[in-house]
Amino acid sequence: MQCKYETIISNELLVPQTYRMVLTCHTCAEMVPGQFINIKLKEFSLRRPISICSIDGDRITIIYKVVGQGTKALSEMKAGECIDVFAPLGHGYPIESQRDRVLLIGGGVGIPPLYELAKQYRKLGKHVDVVCGFPNAEACFYEAEFTELGAHVYIATMDGSKGCKGTVLDAVRHYQLTTTFICACGPLPMLKALEAVYNDGYFSLESRMACGMGACMACVAKDQKQADMYHRICKEGPVFPIGKVVLA
């Protein structure tokens, strides 16, 4: 966990409103899939948390969607410029080597952290199914990249313009994916729907953050069993075992 100036290697539009950035990272050696980096941008007082999508030697890749002023500013940065990166933060997905197969389920910009995760499970020779949900075909990304890793990719689009029409769960049913150990990341409604079906695996959560490292209590989630217990999404999370925290 360190705060360093990193250099942008590339920063390009991947699909509409969504960018991919490659940057140097001093702390690559410590990183695990599902952890995040916290980016300080000029003009903004709070850092922006973004998941690590891929770790490659001394570089990482992130994929982010422009949803507000901070991500817009990020998208306007150019190769060669420096950014202040605090990383790696949080607890990622544990790699469970005893598993034979894993089902990764991602929605939109919840997909990026699953890429490094798929990579690591594939390195262990595991069977990896990936279900990616998007609003439409135009928004789809990383199908080829996952396939290249040797993962099996299934696409769901809300308008049916690509893959299975409907949600990621519709795709799971349509393609009859029966793996019960899942790792998921995506919007809250998606996670809630998955929680109704799965109980083995991990969810990655989001929250508005301030410190990003566990000091300020901005980002808590309630424990499902102990009413008066909270977990910090930035520190104990963002990845939690299914059933650990209340999805709210």
Partner 1 sequence: MKQVDLHIDLPGLKLKNPIIPASGCFGFGREYAQLYDLSILGGIAIKSATIAPRFGNECPRVAETPSGMLNAIGLQNPGVDKIIEKELPWLAQFDTEIIANVAGSNEEDYVKVIEKLNNQPTVKAFELNISCPNVKHGGIGLGTDKELAAHVTKLCKQAAKKPVWVKLTPNVTNIVEIAKAVEEAGADGLVMINTMLGMRFDLKSGKPLLANITGGLSGPAIKPVALRMVYQCAQAVNIPIIGVGGITDAEDVLEFLYAGASAVEVGMANFTDPYCCVKIIEALPKVLSQYGYQSIKEAIGRSFKNE
Ligand X SMILES: Cc1cc2nc3c(=O)[nH]c(=O)nc-3n(C[C@H](O)[C@H](O)[C@H](O)COP(=O)(O)OP(=O)(O)OC[C@H]3O[C@@H](n4cnc5c(N)ncnc54)[C@H](O)[C@@H]3O)c2cc1C
Ligand Y SMILES: Cc1cc2nc3c(=O)[nH]c(=O)nc-3n(C[C@H](O)[C@H](O)[C@H](O)COP(=O)(O)O)c2cc1C
* Total number of residues that touch partner 1 (CB under 8 A): 29
Choose, by CB under 6 A, the member of 214, 224, 244, 247 that binds ligand FES: 214
Give the DSSP per-residue string, 65-103: E--SHHHHHHHT--TT-EEEEEEEESB-----TT-SEEE
Residue span 107-126 as binding mask against ligand X, x where in contact by CB under 6 A, dash where not: --x--x--------------
Which of 66, 62, 1 minimizes the C-alpha distance to 27?
A: 1
Residue span 79-108 as binding mask against ligand X, x where in contact by CB under 6 A, dash where not: ------------------------------
Residue 145, number of CB atoms within 10 A of its CB: 17
Residues 60 and 4: their CA atoms lie apart, in Å, by 14
- C-alpha Rg value of the chain to the nearest Å: 17
Cβ of residue 192: shortest distance to ligand X, in angstroms? 16
Structure tokens at 12: 């390009």
Residues 113 and 128: their CA atoms lie apart, in Å, by 14
Residue span 183-222 as binding mask against ligand Y, x where in contact by CB under 6 A, dash where not: ---------------------------x-----x------
Q: Which of partner 1, ligand X, ligand Y, none sits in contact with 109, Cβ below 5 to 8 A by type?
A: ligand X
- What is the amino acid identity at position 238? P
Structure tokens at 51: 């998941």
30 contributes a contact to partner 1 by CB under 8 A: no
Q: Which is nearer to ligand FES, 49 or 201 (CB)?
A: 49
Cβ of residue 40: shortest distance to partner 1, in angstroms? 7
Which of 204, 16, 34, 147 minimizes the C-alpha distance to 155?
A: 147
46 contributes a contact to ligand Y by CB under 6 A: no
226 contributes a contact to partner 1 by CB under 8 A: no
